[in-house]
């Protein structure tokens, strides 16, 4: 939450330049408060687990969040009970037809990264979703495959297959310490990575308007800001629970799928030991900062979004 200071006080500019949320008394007096409306377009097969992960992060701020669950219209999940989907999810076509707007939208990853985007069964509808965000969503957060899909749709930046799965907890560097999205971030930290594809920094740098905020020498760009489309793209998984990588590893071992022990995850890289969560604090920082940036900039009247 912001601190209110006179705009003429020297500390106002000092703190603002350091990335601290500051607000003048005039701005504070003019604010009107309402719940922040955030949608989750859930493309993951384990819907309930993904709901829990993102709700935990989004719900950790002092702000009231109206959290809406959204699904693709025609695509039916095989891993979550139909009753759950019918009770808690709304198809995108219904939301699109209603004309309603959102302060924020999260587009999750999906286990289809081996496919070209155009071969995904719901690609045409997802393109419609991404275009819809430009007039109906104040800020959009694309996660893993969802982020790759957005950066491809808006900028033509391609994903590339890796020779082996990037799997584990990899150190990341803070490349934009004064970004409001990185308030409170350390210079270096770890984040869970689990993907067979990558985005390349050289190609992101060549796309006008994109700014890489977090990145790794081992796993490439992590978090990219796209101000023109009011979007963030993250290619790794701050939302993961303590044992999500373990569950993926155990699943592949049980099925006989070749997989390396997730790097820097188990103490001593020993799968018999309990994994340690070394990313939780930065996960809450990032999503809390995103929600607060929405709070600072979104119009009180949702109808004004996109005008």
The residue-averaged pLDDT of 242-255 equals 95
Pick the CATH number of 31-301 from 3.30.300.30, 3.40.50.300, 1.25.10.10, 3.40.50.880: 3.40.50.880
Residue range 257-266, pLDDT digits in tens? 889 999 999 9
* Percent of the chain clearing pLDDT 90 (strictly above): 76
pLDDT value of position 264: 96
- Which residue of the set 136, 153, 155, 237 is catalytic? 237
Contact, 190 vs 172, CB < 8 A? yes
What is the C-alpha to C-alpha distance for residues 96 and 18, in angstroms, rounded to an integer?
Answer: 39
- Pair type for strands 36-41 and 160-174: unpaired
Residue 32 confidence (pLDDT) above 80:
no
Share of the chain above pLDDT 70, in %: 95
Angle between helices 123-136 and 145-155 (to 10 degrees): 80
**What is the chain's mean pLDDT, rounded?**
92
- Whether residue 134 is predicted with pLDDT greater than 80 in this model: the reply is yes
d(CA 18, CA 146): 30
pLDDT band at 29 (very low <50, low <70, confident <90, very high): low
Q: Is 239 a catalytic residue?
A: yes
Q: Is 144 a catalytic residue?
A: yes
pLDDT for the residue numbered 61:
82
Q: Kindly name the residue from 51, 113, 125, 144 that is annotated as catalytic.
A: 144
Looking at 51, 125, 198, 239, which residue is catalytic? 239
Is 21's pLDDT higher than 80?
A: no
Report the alpha-carbon distance of residue 148 to residue 156 in Å, rounded: 10
Which residues pair with residue 79 across a beta bridge? none
| pLDDT for residue 26 is more than 80 | no
pLDDT of the residue at 2: 60
**Who has greater pLDDT, 166 or 81?**
166
| In contact, 253 and 227? CB cutoff 8 Å | no
Domain ranges of the chain: 31-301
């Amino acid at each position: 939450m912001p601190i209110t200071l006179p705009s003429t006080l020297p500390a106002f500019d000092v703190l603002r330049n350091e990335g601290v949320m500051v607000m003048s008394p005039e701005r504070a007096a003019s604010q009107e408060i309402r719940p922040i409306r955030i949608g989750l377009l859930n493309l993951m097969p384990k819907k309930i687990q993904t709901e829990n992960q993102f709700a935990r992060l989004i719900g950790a701020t002092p702000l009231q969040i109206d959290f809406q669950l959204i699904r693709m219209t025609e695509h039916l999940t095989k891993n979550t009970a139909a009753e759950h989907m019918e009770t808690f999810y709304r198809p995108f076509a219904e939301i699109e037809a209603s004309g309603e707007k959102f302060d924020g939208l999260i587009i999750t990853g999906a286990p289809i990264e081996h496919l070209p985007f155009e071969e995904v069964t719901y690609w045409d509808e997802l393109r419609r979703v991404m275009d819809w965000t430009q007039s109906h969503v104040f800020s959009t957060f694309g996660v893993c495959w969802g982020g790759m899909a957005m950066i491809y749709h808006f900028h033509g930046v391609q994903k590339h297959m890796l020779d082996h799965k990037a799997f584990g907890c990899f150190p990341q560097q803070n490349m934009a310490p004064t970004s409001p999205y990185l308030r409170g971030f350390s210079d270096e930290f770890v984040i869970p990575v689990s993907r067979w594809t990558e985005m390349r920094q050289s190609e992101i740098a060549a796309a006008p308007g994109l700014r890489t905020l977090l990145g790794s020498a081992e796993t490439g760009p992590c978090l990219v800001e796209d101000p023109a489309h009011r979007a963030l793209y993250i290619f790794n998984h701050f939302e993961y629970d303590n044992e999500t990588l373990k569950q993926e590893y155990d699943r592949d071992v049980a099925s006989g799928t070749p997989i390396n022990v997730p790097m820097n995850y188990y103490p001593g890289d020993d799968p018999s030991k309990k994994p340690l969560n070394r990313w939780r604090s930065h996960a809450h920082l990032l999503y809390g900062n995103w929600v607060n940036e929405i709070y600072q900039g979104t119009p009180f009247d949702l109808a004004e979004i996109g005008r």
